[in-house]
Structure 1
Amino acid sequence: MAATATTLRRRRPGALVAAALAATLGLVACSSGDSGEPDADGAAELECSTESVANEQWRAAEPVTFSMLWTDWPETPVTEQWQLFDEIERRTNVTLELTNIPFSDAVEKRSLLISAGDAPQIIPLIYTGDERQFAASGAVVPLSDYVDYMPNFSHYVEEWELGEMLDNLRQDDGRYYMTPGLQEVSVPVFSLIIRKDIFDEVGAPVPETWEDLQAGLELIKEQYPDSLPLADGFEGASMLNYASHAFGTVAGWGFGNGMWFDEDAGEFVYAPTTDGYRSMVEYFRGLAADGLLDTESFTEANDGMGTVTEKFANETVFAASGASGTVQEFATALDAAGVTDYELVQIAPPGGEAGQVVEPRNFWNGFMLTADAVEDPNFCDMLHFVDWLYYNPEAREMLQWGIEDETYTTADDGTISLMPDYTLGAYNLNPEGTIDIQTDLGFASNVLAGSTESRTLKESYNQPQFVEYIDTVLSTRTPRDPFPRAPLTEAELEQASLLGTPLQDSVDTATLEFILGRRDMSEWDSFLTEIESQGLSTYVDLVNGARERAADQD
């Protein structure tokens, strides 16, 4: 698989082992099992040389090496010199051996590695749903069998009341095969960023609904006739995702398998066949027709944010999709363009006919373990390690900020500040620093940081305006209820893929054509007939059959 991934081996001398930490940890057996083989219930008992306790530092009794898949972002390519890996080893006695894949086609290469049996043991950046195909084929570990060895994970699932959501990850055999990053507060990562000063200038309030937004955009268009004031920059996938919930449907990045649970009917329906999906399409079609939507931003590739940022700087776009870091990106561009006295605000996703509803976001990216990990003689240590790495609060702070009193300090009130020599350019923190903790040291990485976060940690590196965004979402928006489980068997997954993939391709194409005005809305029924001819009924029946089966199990 040389053409697919490269491997970076990391070895560190024994001098880096912190004996003082080891002295504080008792070396005790955490179970009395034999070889780690599954028992009659499917779970496995392990013999562990170290004990893992929630919210305490864990450390392997002897040096161990585990392999991990690492996705390289173009702007932050991993280096062997990153202090992140030294600090992980210093604290845990674990050396990480990395297999590197590029961000540009990470999902495809990850799948190839796992399917070929060449993947490393630890697979990060797994979002809920990513694990289904690998779980069905037995390529990954059923982590639910081993949660007794993951006390940090169990602690925060209980403390943050995420047990019901976790149960929804169970596959057809009743197990779950990934553990997600856990978020204490549920707020959408991507939403709408507006030039509030421009909205104020034209007399438009901060929009609470999509109708409010349209009214504001119309006023802006009158004042700035050459503008196309609303943009996305992610082929529409971001905006349609956070907009869809207000219309009572799913779309864009959140389309998933395309299913929407109809509470009244008590069954799944295909989202594009719902009235809510059509209403959403008609809304954005109207914006495009009135010159309020930058349609180019609905056709650009996901790396097209540069163009939207330039339009923000040129003051031809005044509202666009983005996350907290995008606010800083827009601000930097406006500063460089000489624009002064602007105010950028990330607002709560506007509401609509389905209410002030947002997508539940208490889960973020987590990890899987490949099936051969259980053959590792240090598998128990591996479970303790990933539990510490992903869910221990001190580990999470280290992954984000680095080393206390070296790269950052913590004030009496809990405020975290970078030391004078250090900066975090991605969030414009301490810009006068000369050492970037992300690009130079590996902390605040896209692979590991941000996965599991308390509200305090999330707020620690974001600007005050993002704290206001969190407060606004929590006080004015309601997360949509999770859908019922509908896990498919391996054979059903294959059938669902054969049906669902071409269906989604047709939906994506038609959605864009309708929004951009290339297809008249009078053809909507013809569109529904087209997807029905692609086996839609069979697909819907397949998912509802799985839902009924899961309900019987529950």
Structure 2
Amino acid sequence: MTLHPFTRRAALASGAALATTAVLASCGGDGDEVDTLDQIENPDENITPEGMPIVKEKITIDFLSARPSTTAEDWNEVSVIKATEELTNIHIDFGLVPQDGAAERRNLALSSGDYPSAFYRNGIGTGDLATYGERGTFIPLNDLLEQHMPNLTALMEASPQIREGLTFPDGNIYSTPQIYDPSFPGLRYMFKLFARQDWLDRFGMAVPETTEEFEAYLEEAVNTIDGAIGLTDPVNLGETYPTLYGTFGVANQGTAAGQIDLDPDTGAVRYFPLSDGYREMMTYLHGLYSKGLIPADIFSSDRATFTAQGSDGLIAACSTAAPAGYFGAEGENYVVLPPLVTEAGNTPVWHAVRSELASIGHFVMTDRCEHPVALARWMDYWYSEEGARQFFLGNEGDSWEEVDGEYKLLPEITDGQSVDDGLKPHSIFMGGSYPGWVTQRWFGGVESMPQAMESSQAMEPYAIPEVWSAFTFTPEESDVLGTVGAEIGKYLAESRAGFITGQLPLSEWDTFAQTLEEIGLSEFMEIQQAAYDRRQ
């Protein structure tokens, strides 16, 4: 396997070129001048002081929005958006662009200076948030949160980690988040390891608790059942790695910070792919692959293949939220495994815990916004119980009804079609990457299915108590992470596949570590340590 080191010199040159381009681009633009900050301090008389509608006379606010293909082609024709416009008296020109091309359109708009009042569902990264926030293109939401967004503020007060993860080193908040209710285990402990209970019974085996027992089960399945596939998942083992983090003692602060955790010996931040535990995990997965217990084409497979194989009853073990959500009746044959241990008698621990602050950058207001207070109140509505319920379920009577205190989708929503297809005329949450508040009460995805909930609840007793949200960085730090950090991530992915398949021998571990250093790991880790220190 040929791996291509990215030198520190090349990274710096690339970063400098990008920075120069960004500065030059920011000097252009022919958009109208708007005193957005003055409007925050002195909102116009059209805005009502509280309650609905938000404005007396209807206004229109322009967005640039990333549209997932699973949502309606025109969001203004969706019943919940129509109802919200009638409620608030605000018409949103969503400016829909395909999700796959949204980042390019956003960057073009920002570089030309012809950008809208807000970016919606764009998943803007922390680097751009820091850079455009410092320039004043993205406006701070601090005052708007304090004065006009009581619903989101209440959620942040209930969970200080949310405010902590949204706040940049300059003290500002530039976007609104996607929040996972901490009492919703289906989302907090999303990916688990499952095995077929009927095959375990057939082999006279108990549910595996150790890595050795799990390997023995996979061997029995692959060697005795015609066409059986050992361990697989929908995204090239991307959902399997987290299920083994606790087993091998890495990612000890959860999954939101990427490949960063705390060194148990020093208390400093650690790049855990260089740890002994991570190397042991690679060794274990290579052993499974070399015996044919992981499909040979795992790194070129896809979700459709995974679903088809599982629906045909061929998969012995998989990592996912709930097999029943993908395999139908075949998925009901699976049982969740406890966190595996490397030796019998070890204490199981579960590290694959997601932060309550699931992600940021999905709603950003710009200095072109003529109605910042009205827009802040519109956005805050979706963080209220009524608004969040509408966002995920649509309008009561159109797509759902309340039965014995629970929200039930109407039969016509689910009969003969998926929930996403049934809700398409009524909601726009499908496809993810939205700002909002997700709880089990109104979220109808795979993660809320009984199998997902029961298996997630089984992980709770083993879950680590402290979970980080993703770090935020200064513009200067973000420049480095955008170049050096990106190349480190690319090289790690290549190396991981190489270690597992054997194309990169594990005997070359020192070369792997040296190459990371040549790319710029030391500076990368200095930035991570600085971000962690700011959190403290």
TM-score per shorter chain, which class? 0.7 to 0.9
1:379 aligns with 2:372: yes
Structure 2 CA distance for aligned equivalents of residues 117 and 468 of structure 1: 50
The question of whether the paired residues in 1 share the 8 Å contact of 2:222 and 2:230 is answered with: yes
1:478 aligns with 2:464: yes
Match of 2:293, SS state, is coil
Q: Which of 415, 418, 422 pairs up with 1:437?
A: 422
What is the CA-CA distance between 1:384 and the residue it aligns to? 0.6
The one-letter code of the counterpart of 2:60 is T
Structure 2 CA distance for aligned equivalents of residues 308 and 58 of structure 1: 47
Question: Relative to structure 1, is the Cα distance of residues 87 and 506 closer, same or farther in structure 2, using a 3 angstrom cutoff?
Answer: same
The one-letter code of the counterpart of 1:299 is S
Mapping of 1:244-259 within 5 angstroms?
244-250=245-251, 258-259=259-260
The question of whether the paired residues in 2 share the 8 Å contact of 1:401 and 1:408 is answered with: yes
What is the CA-CA distance between 1:93 and the residue it aligns to? 1.6
Mapping of 1:109-148 within 5 angstroms?
109-125=105-121, 130-138=125-133, 139-148=137-146
Mapping of 1:46-125 within 5 angstroms?
46-47=42-43, 49-52=47-50, 59-79=54-74, 81-125=77-121
Structure 1 CA distance for aligned equivalents of residues 175 and 241 of structure 2: 27
Q: Which of 413, 417, 427 pairs up with 2:408?
A: 417
The one-letter code of the counterpart of 1:61 is K
Structure 1 CA distance for aligned equivalents of residues 525 and 192 of structure 2: 30
Name the stretch that deviates more: 504-513 or 95-104.
95-104
Match of 1:155, SS state, is helix
User: What residue number does 1:265 align with?
Assistant: 266
1:216 aligns with 2:212: no
Match of 1:260, SS state, is strand
The question of whether the paired residues in 2 share the 8 Å contact of 1:396 and 1:449 is answered with: no
User: What residue number does 1:4 align with?
Assistant: none
1:330 aligns with 2:327: yes
What is the CA-CA distance between 1:234 and the residue it aligns to? 1.1
User: What residue number does 2:450 align with?
Assistant: 464
The question of whether the paired residues in 1 share the 8 Å contact of 2:229 and 2:295 is answered with: yes
Question: Relative to structure 1, is the Cα distance of residues 419 and 487 closer, same or farther in structure 2, using a 3 angstrom cutoff?
Answer: closer
What is the CA-CA distance between 1:75 and the residue it aligns to? 4.1
The question of whether the paired residues in 1 share the 8 Å contact of 2:191 and 2:243 is answered with: yes
The question of whether the paired residues in 2 share the 8 Å contact of 1:140 and 1:369 is answered with: no
The question of whether the paired residues in 2 share the 8 Å contact of 1:284 and 1:515 is answered with: yes
1:531 aligns with 2:516: yes
What is the CA-CA distance between 1:489 and the residue it aligns to? 2.3
Question: Relative to structure 1, is the Cα distance of residues 226 and 423 closer, same or farther in structure 2, using a 3 angstrom cutoff?
Answer: closer
Question: Relative to structure 1, is the Cα distance of residues 437 and 526 closer, same or farther in structure 2, using a 3 angstrom cutoff?
Answer: same
The question of whether the paired residues in 1 share the 8 Å contact of 2:64 and 2:120 is answered with: yes
Structure with a larger share of its residues in helix: 2
Structure 1 CA distance for aligned equivalents of residues 223 and 450 of structure 2: 32
User: What residue number does 1:163 align with?
Assistant: 160
Name the stretch that deviates more: 131-140 or 90-99.
131-140
The one-letter code of the counterpart of 2:516 is I
What is the CA-CA distance between 1:446 and the residue it aligns to? 2.7
User: What residue number does 2:5 align with?
Assistant: none
Structure 2 CA distance for aligned equivalents of residues 103 and 349 of structure 1: 37
Structure 2 CA distance for aligned equivalents of residues 464 and 200 of structure 1: 22
Mapping of 1:155-304 within 5 angstroms?
155-159=154-158, 162-185=159-182, 186=185, 187-207=188-208, 210-224=211-225, 226-250=227-251, 258-300=259-301, 304=302
Structure 1 CA distance for aligned equivalents of residues 529 and 236 of structure 2: 30
Structure 1 CA distance for aligned equivalents of residues 431 and 465 of structure 2: 25
The question of whether the paired residues in 1 share the 8 Å contact of 2:195 and 2:318 is answered with: yes
**Once superposed, what is the RMSD of the aligned Cα atoms?**
3.4
Match of 2:178, SS state, is strand
Deviation string for 1:308-347 (max 9, x for gaps)?
11212333323323335x6333117x5xxxxxxx624473
Question: Relative to structure 1, is the Cα distance of residues 192 and 46 closer, same or farther in structure 2, using a 3 angstrom cutoff?
Answer: farther
The question of whether the paired residues in 1 share the 8 Å contact of 2:68 and 2:98 is answered with: yes
Structure 1 CA distance for aligned equivalents of residues 198 and 112 of structure 2: 54
Question: Relative to structure 1, is the Cα distance of residues 67 and 36 closer, same or farther in structure 2, using a 3 angstrom cutoff?
Answer: closer
Structure 2 CA distance for aligned equivalents of residues 297 and 460 of structure 1: 26
Match of 1:455, SS state, is coil
What is the CA-CA distance between 1:387 and the residue it aligns to? 0.8
User: What residue number does 1:19 align with?
Assistant: none
The one-letter code of the counterpart of 1:468 is E
The one-letter code of the counterpart of 2:424 is T
What is the CA-CA distance between 1:380 and the residue it aligns to? 0.3
User: What residue number does 2:153 align with?
Assistant: 154
The one-letter code of the counterpart of 2:298 is S
1:363 aligns with 2:329: no
Name the stretch that deviates more: 499-508 or 355-364.
355-364
Structure 1 CA distance for aligned equivalents of residues 167 and 482 of structure 2: 19
The question of whether the paired residues in 2 share the 8 Å contact of 1:260 and 1:269 is answered with: yes
What is the CA-CA distance between 1:367 and the residue it aligns to? 4.6
Deviation string for 1:58-80 (max 9, x for gaps)?
63333122233333333445235
The question of whether the paired residues in 2 share the 8 Å contact of 1:327 and 1:346 is answered with: no
Deviation string for 1:463-496 (max 9, x for gaps)?
322332343233443355317x864321222123
Unaligned residue ranges in structure 1 (runs of 5+): 1-34, 335-341, 430-435
Match of 2:152, SS state, is helix
Structure 2 CA distance for aligned equivalents of residues 376 and 71 of structure 1: 19
Question: Relative to structure 1, is the Cα distance of residues 145 and 368 closer, same or farther in structure 2, using a 3 angstrom cutoff?
Answer: farther
The question of whether the paired residues in 2 share the 8 Å contact of 1:121 and 1:369 is answered with: no
The one-letter code of the counterpart of 1:382 is L
Match of 1:229, SS state, is strand
Structure 2 CA distance for aligned equivalents of residues 96 and 346 of structure 1: 46
Question: Comparing both chains, which one has the higher relative contact order based on Cα–Cα distances under 8 Å and sequence gaps of 6 or more?
Answer: 2
TM-score by length of 2: 0.79
Unaligned residue ranges in structure 2 (runs of 5+): 1-34, 343-347
The question of whether the paired residues in 1 share the 8 Å contact of 2:165 and 2:357 is answered with: no
Structure 2 CA distance for aligned equivalents of residues 109 and 241 of structure 1: 33
1:493 aligns with 2:478: yes
Question: Relative to structure 1, is the Cα distance of residues 198 and 222 closer, same or farther in structure 2, using a 3 angstrom cutoff?
Answer: same
Aligned identity (percent) is: 22
The question of whether the paired residues in 2 share the 8 Å contact of 1:172 and 1:488 is answered with: yes
The question of whether the paired residues in 2 share the 8 Å contact of 1:231 and 1:295 is answered with: no
The count of residues paired between Structure 1 and Structure 2 equals 484
TM-score by length of 1: 0.77
The question of whether the paired residues in 1 share the 8 Å contact of 2:144 and 2:373 is answered with: no
User: What residue number does 2:386 align with?
Assistant: 394
The question of whether the paired residues in 1 share the 8 Å contact of 2:310 and 2:327 is answered with: yes
Structure 1 CA distance for aligned equivalents of residues 371 and 286 of structure 2: 57
The question of whether the paired residues in 1 share the 8 Å contact of 2:122 and 2:433 is answered with: no
What is the CA-CA distance between 1:194 and the residue it aligns to? 4.2
The question of whether the paired residues in 1 share the 8 Å contact of 2:193 and 2:336 is answered with: yes
What is the CA-CA distance between 1:460 and the residue it aligns to? 9.1
User: What residue number does 2:18 align with?
Assistant: none
